[in-house]
Amino acid sequence: MIRVKSLMQQANPVPDTTPDQASDPASHTTPDTPAASARWGVRRAGLALGGLAALAAAVVAVPAVFGPRGKGPGGDPAPPPAADEPYYTTTADLERSADLIVRARLDATRETEEDGIQETVATVSVAAIARGETPDRTLRVSYPAPGSGQPDGPGLTVSHEYVLLLDRTDDGGYTLVNTDQGYYGVDAGHAEAGPDNDVALSGGVLAALGLKR
C-alpha cells in the first residue's frame, strides 16, 4: 500500500486543495491584466475610488525613460524600450503645455543616433508665433525618427508648413510636446491634426498663426 500511494503522488504532482484554501478567496491569485497603452502616450480615462467615480485626469504626464540597448535573440541589438509621453485630452491643456507654438516651414532634416536612440533633427523657419517668444526665426526641432519604435516619430516633409507645439530644451533646441499632438499640417489655410490626435487648436491660436478653422 505504501508503494501504491507513492506512485499515485508522483502521477499527480499538484497537491489537493486544503479546506482552508477552498474557503478563503484570498488564497487564490488572479492573473495580472496588462494595462492599455497607445504608442508613446499613456492614456487613462479615470479612477474609481470608494464606489464614487473620480474626475477624469485632463492629462497624464509620464517622464520619458530610455534604457541602454541590450542583446536580442541571436546576439542582435534589441530595440530600446518604448517610452511613455504625455497625452492631452483638451485644447487648453495641450496649448498650455507648450513653451512655444509656431507656424513654420520645414527646411531640412538629418538623422542622429546616440546610445541606441534614433532622432530626427529638423531645421524650421518660423512664419508666425501664437505662444511664447523666440529671438530666432530659425529653430532646431528634435523628435523620434520615423520607424524607430521608441516611439515612432511623425513623418514630417521638407518644404511643407506645420503648426508646431514645442518644449524648449537646455541646449537651446526644441522638442515636440509629444509625437501625436506636437504638430499639425497646414493645408489650404487650415491646421490638420495627425491621425492619432483628436484635439483641435483654439480659435485664438489659429488666428495668431493666420489660419482658419
Domains of the chain, residue spans: 87-208
Q: What is the pLDDT of residue 178?
A: 95
Q: Which has the higher per-residue pLDDT, 4 or 165? A: 165
In the three-class reduction of DSSP (H, G, I as helix; E, B as strand; rest coil), residue 176 is classed as strand
42 vs 166 pLDDT, higher one: 166
Range from 6-10, 72-76, 106-110, 150-154 that averages highest in pLDDT: 106-110
Q: Give the pLDDT band of residue 14 (cuts 50, 70, 90).
A: very low
Among residues of the chain, what percentage have pLDDT more than 70?
A: 61
Distant-in-sequence, close-in-space partners of 66: CB < 8 Å, separation ≥ 6: 80, 81, 83, 115, 116, 117, 150
pLDDT digits (tens, 9 = 90+) for 113-128: 988 889 999 999 999 9
Digit-coded pLDDT (tens) for 44-103 = 333 333 333 333 334 344 333 333 333 344 444 444 444 578 999 999 999 999 999 999
| CA gap 22, 8 in Å, rounded | 22
Architecture of domain 87-208 in this structure: Beta Barrel (2.40)
User: What is the number of other CB atoms lying within 10 angstroms of the CB of residue 175?
Assistant: 19
Please give the full DSSP string across 80-149, using - where no structure is assigned: PPP--B-EE-SHHHHHHH-SEEEEEEEEEEEEEEETTEEEEEEEEEEEEEEES--S-SEEEEEEEPTT-S
Highest mean pLDDT among 9-23, 41-55, 127-141, 146-160: 127-141
Angle ∠(28,34,35) on CA atoms, nearest 5: 125
pLDDT of residue 83: 54
Mean pLDDT across 178-202 = 96
**What is the overall mean pLDDT for the chain?**
73
pLDDT band at residue 160 under the 50/70/90 scheme: very high
170/13: higher pLDDT: 170
Report the range of poorest mean pLDDT among 2-6, 42-46, 108-112. 42-46
The predicted model gives 127-141 an average pLDDT of 96
What is the distance of C-alpha 155 from the center of its chain?
16
